[in-house]
Amino acid sequence: MEGEDKRIAFLQNVTLKTLKLKPDKWQKFIAGEETRILIGNFIEKSDINSLVISLNAASQLVCSLEFPQTIKNKAVYFIKKDKEVITKDNIKNVFIGDVANSPVDATIGAIEGIAYPLHTNKDNTRCWPRVVSDDVSRHAHKLKNEVFVVGGQIKGRTFLPLPANADALGDSECTYRLSHSIDSKLMHAFETVIIDWTHQVTEVLSKDSAQPILDGLNPLPRVEFDFWNNRLMNLECIYAQLMDPKVRKMAEIVENASSTYWPALKSIYKDINEGRTEARDIVLYLKPLQKILDEIDQLEYSQLPTYVGAVMHTVCLTWANSEHYSHPARIIVILQEICNLFIDMTRNFLGPEEVMKGLMGEIVEILGNIRMSIVTLVTLRETYDQCKVDMDKYFKNGNSKNWDFPSHLVFTRLDAFLQRLQTIEEVYAVSVELLKLEKVDIQGVRGSALGNMVFNIYEEFLNLIKIFAECKYDAIDTGNKSFDENFRKFQDQILDFERRLGTILCQAFDDCASTESAVKMLDMFGFILERPHIQNQISSKYKELVEMFSSELDRTKLVYDAQMAAVEACKGIPPIAKNMPHVAGQLNWAREVQDRIQIPMKHFKAIHHPYVL
């Protein structure tokens, strides 16, 4: 490419100057093959009109033949006036410009640096009618102030616009003249900005940290901390503007003129000072709580219950010592946000998408996690109640302020979430019990038929919990009503299973030929005997079991008495099993009698029912 060096040198000089870079950046940039191809296409091809060079995230130069949709850093662009090949002679005819990474900042800069001076320069409006000139200047100043205020809002700050003649307030001679000779136009400008400032300050001070909760959101404590930190910095920013010499001169002029807006301006100073005092107090006393909550956010969930006491203790100290945070409306907000934090941590621990899938997998492990979560939330609730009782301990001067507000204002969401977890726990607990039906083996005349009936119930139960395990909704979300509907169906089906199992158990019990077999059968089904409807049906069988065992004891007594009578008849030599030594035979007989009593008794002790206690 003839003349390439001069053309590329031009691009280099403009890029380095605009982006304020060192030459080594360009050398590394131009060394890339892809870069040389793109720049060569821009120079040599007439149908390519634009070239954009910018810095990427790694602070390296990159180029594009089109304007990128997003620019994270400042960029420089080159656009041809006509569709032509660039030569060393027409290279300087290319349009050159830069693109700021922030369009808003660029717009503000253009308005303040170009549009405003252009429309307020008297040399530019000398030939215009005065009415037109004044109107254009007024609108230009209004636009500048609006852009100035918007720029502050984007940065999270409140910028107070100044009147059009604010620059003159910095001149002591002009200020002296203004303070002794006030015209209506000047006073109107001052009073106009005072009205604007009043609205701005009122808007800042009327903001409430509880607004996200009132909007139906579930903010975390970080929102509360950020609100007060930002509020303090914003109020300090406003205070610094009010203390500016120009503003204080304006206030002095307004006061000396006995303007009707002087009380409003004085009220602005007063409100900002009171707001700063309040925000400083709250930020100071929220810092310990913020520190401990930041630590909690990094903990393993299993460690969470041990930190609950420290969190509530710190909240109580804040309530007792902060002058401006010891109001129910304030403390309720942070308590609700702490509840939201615990709820979010619990959700992340259990996993909304995984919590019900455990029914078809690691059911015992998931059930343990659910119970740990319930214990954690109950601990938070109980610690709160204990803090209410012990609130007097946190006040040194004896003038204690109790938490007299209803607890449901704090725990409505937590209680609903806790109830949902307890419902899920019930599903898991029932599942753990009924899944054991797979290994049940019933003996007796109808043992096979009854066993098949139990297995059918087991298979039906598998299909029932499969509905939960394969659900697509968030089971932990208390606002989701699909879970409630499925749970009602689950309860109805479990009730049917219990009735059927109760009937099967009664039939199996009736088929037992001995006390030992009856006791073994009840022991085998011991994991479901506590179910209410099964217990109602089987309770009458316990009385029969006791009667059977009593009869067995009577028969054993008869055997014993017969043996003792035989001992006397045989002159101390009782009959024993064949082919056994004399002493061993007697010991074997005694052990058989003992087992006949103790083996059923051992199973009896495992049965918890009034008839067998």
Q: What is the pLDDT of residues 53-85, one digit of tens each?
A: 988 878 889 888 888 777 777 888 999 888 888
* DSSP-assigned beta bridge partners for residue 54: 62, 75
| pLDDT grade for 607, boundaries at 50, 70 and 90 | low
From 308-312, 340-344, 441-445, the region with the lowest mean pLDDT: 441-445
From 390-394, 490-494, 603-607, the region with the lowest mean pLDDT: 603-607
pLDDT at 1: 41
Q: What is the average per-residue pLDDT within 596-604? A: 73
Per-residue CA distances from 590 to 24, 266, 559, 594, 601 (Å): 103, 106, 11, 6, 17
Torsion of CA 480, 482, 485, 486, to 10 degrees: -120
From 97-106, 164-173, 208-217, 388-397, the region with the lowest mean pLDDT: 164-173
DSSP code per residue over 375-392: HHHHHHHHHHHHHHHTGG
Contact 141, 120 (CB under 8 A): yes
pLDDT at 513: 73
Please report, rounded to a whole number, the percentage of residues in the chain having pLDDT higher than 90.
Answer: 30
Q: Is the pLDDT of residue 170 over 70?
A: no
Give SS3 for 161. coil
Contact 162, 190 (CB under 8 A): no
Q: Which pLDDT tens digit goes with each residue over 314-363?
A: 999 999 999 999 999 999 999 999 999 999 999 999 988 888 888 887 88
Higher pLDDT, 149 or 482: 482
Pairing assessment for the beta strands 61-64 and 95-99 based on DSSP bridges: unpaired
Q: Quick one: tokens of 511? A: 């088929």
Q: What is the average per-residue pLDDT within 510-531? A: 77
Cα 403–chain centre separation: 26
Q: What is the average per-residue pLDDT within 453-461? A: 89
pLDDT at 242: 92
Q: What is the average per-residue pLDDT within 528-554? A: 77
Q: Is the pLDDT of residue 611 over 50?
A: no
Q: Quick one: tokens of 466? A: 């499969």
pTM (2 decimals)? Answer: 0.75
DSSP code per residue over 83-120: S----TTTGGGSEEEEE-S-HHHHHHHHIIIIIHHHHH
Radius of gyration, alpha carbons of the chain? 43
Please report, rounded to a whole number, the percentage of residues in the chain having pLDDT higher than 70.
Answer: 92
Q: What is the average per-residue pLDDT within 128-135? A: 79
Contact 542, 612 (CB under 8 A): yes
Higher pLDDT, 448 or 211: 211
pLDDT at 125: 75
Q: How far apart are CA 589 and CA 488, in angstroms?
A: 58
Cα 189–chain centre separation: 48
From 84-93, 199-208, 386-395, 597-606, the region with the lowest mean pLDDT: 597-606
Question: How does 415-449 read in b/e, with b if 16+ C-beta sit within 10 Å?
Answer: bebbebbeebeebbebbeebbebeebebbbeeeee
Q: Is the pLDDT of residue 107 over 60?
A: yes
The mean pLDDT of the chain is 84
Q: Which pLDDT tens digit goes with each residue over 380-389?
A: 999 999 999 9
Q: What is the average per-residue pLDDT within 402-414? A: 92
Q: Is the pLDDT of residue 601 over 70?
A: yes
- Nearest residue to 204 (alpha-carbon basis) of 171, 236, 182, 176: 236
Strand-by-strand arrangement of the 95-99 sheet: 61-64, 50-55, 75-79, 95-99
Q: Quick one: tokens of 134? A: 């004044």
How many other β-carbons are positioned within 10 Å of the β-carbon of residue 592?
A: 11
Higher pLDDT, 368 or 397: 368
Q: Is the pLDDT of residue 374 over 70?
A: yes
